[in-house]
Amino acid sequence: MNTVKMNVISYGLGPIGIKIMQSCLQSDHIRLIGAVDIDPQKIGRDVGELAESTAVGIHVVQNLDEIDTARLEGRKLALHATGSNLPQVWPQIKQLLDQGYSVISTCEQLAYPWHRYSDLSKEIDLYARDKRQFVIGTGVNPGYIMDSMTLFSTSVTQSLSKIKVYRKVDVSKRRIPLQKKVGIGMSPEEFHQLAQNDRIGHVGLEESLRLVAYGLNLTLTEVINKIEPTISQEDTVLAIGPLSKNEVNGLHQNSTGSTKEGIPIELDLIMSVDVVTEDRIILETNDMGTVEFVVPQGIFGDTATINVVVNTAKTMHSSNQVGLLTMADIRLTRNLM
């Protein structure tokens, strides 16, 4: 690994952003040079204290231009964690590029934005190239389990006939924002109304599907997305509050793609209270039969997202790639020591 420390800022200090910042402070390879957030309760506070550690003399600022980088040498990276919607976060990313930062973002729609936001993707790509920087979206899902890990698993095959990926997440053990995102405590009618307007659900499942197709040089001819609530069978109490029987306790989401090459891709995601966690990649092949890769207890998303973001930064530190990238475009990420 490049022995020169990375100059990193943490942009966005929600639950995930703070943990990313904490990881940076603990790393021997990273020099945290600043942190940005708009929360009045965080502005001015020492980042070490926010990360539940000792003070380090770096304080959270509201505006990016308050971070003094004039005397810094080497590449600057921004670990960006503010939102899921690409058009909403693009102005933030654009400002980061203007000030000389390459960007690793948790924005789910950035994992593979070329279909949903074709024109915006071209704009981001050209803008980043002009600034000689890169922009990439990553995390655990999208970014790893249902796409990057799936792509890597196909290395052992010669002839694929079908790809199926299943992920089951117990949301009772996850942070409150995620519990809200999957509709916990709603009535089934409320859930269906939001689903009809595309206002609920896991953001990024279709992006993962399209990233798998892109990474395997497959041409998608049709994509079908489905989402249904899962329903609580008993009263219980979660971090978000009380949950009654017959209320929504999660979701079951599916994205299925047909390809011109005749190799269907199916991604199936259950995020529900007390579901048995598991990650499973199933490859139907013509040369090896059925090949399965299974993580029996599943990969815990919050912690893994933080680690994937930081390890992607480590992997890309010495890269000369520029533009809008995906996890299928860069070399295999790893925990470089």
Q: What is the CATH number of the domain that holds 187?
A: 3.30.360
Q: Tell me, yes or no, whether 131 and 222 share the same domain.
A: no
Residue 69 sits in the same domain as residue 152:
no
> Based on the domain organization, do 174 and 235 belong to the same domain?
yes
pLDDT in tens, the chain (337 residues): 556 789 999 999 999 999 999 999 999 999 999 999 999 999 999 999 999 989 999 999 999 999 999 889 889 999 999 999 999 999 999 999 999 999 999 999 999 999 999 999 999 999 999 999 999 999 999 999 999 999 999 999 999 999 999 999 999 988 888 899 999 999 999 999 999 999 999 999 999 999 999 999 999 999 999 999 999 999 999 999 999 999 999 999 999 999 999 999 999 999 999 999 999 999 999 999 999 999 999 999 899 999 999 999 999 999 999 999 999 999 999 999 8
Instruction: Tell whether 152 and 277 lie within a shared domain.
Output: yes
In a domain, 334, yes or no: no
CATH code for position 89: 3.40.50.720
Statement to judge: residues 293 and 315 lie in one domain: no
For residues 98 and 155, membership in a common domain is answered with no
Residue 78, in any domain of the structure: yes
11 and 132 in a single domain? The answer is yes
Judgement on whether residues 161 and 88 belong to the same structural domain of the protein: no
Count of structural domains, the chain: 2
* Same-domain status, 172 and 269: yes
1 domain-assigned: no
* Domain-located, residue 152: yes
- Regarding whether 118 and 24 lie in a shared domain, the answer is yes
Residue-range definition of the domain harbouring residue 251: 148-298
Specify whether 68 is located in the same domain as 20: yes
SS (H, E, C) the chain: CCCCCEEEEEECCCHHHHHHHHHHHHCCCEEEEEEECCCCCCCCCEHHHHCCCCCCCCECECCHHHCCCCCCCCCEEEEECCCCCHHHHHHHHHHHHHCCEEEEECCHHHCCCCCCCHHHHHHHHHHHHHCCCEEEECCCCCCCCCCHHHHHHHHHCCCEEEEEEEEEEEHHHCCHHHHHHCCCCCCHHHHHHHHHCCCCCCCCHHHHHHHHHHHCCCCEEEEEEEEEEEECCCCEEECCEEECCCCEEEEEEEEEEEECCCCCEEEEEEEECCCCCEEEEEEEECCCCEEEEEECCCCCHHHHHHHHHHHHHHHHCCCCCCEEECCCCCCCCCCCC
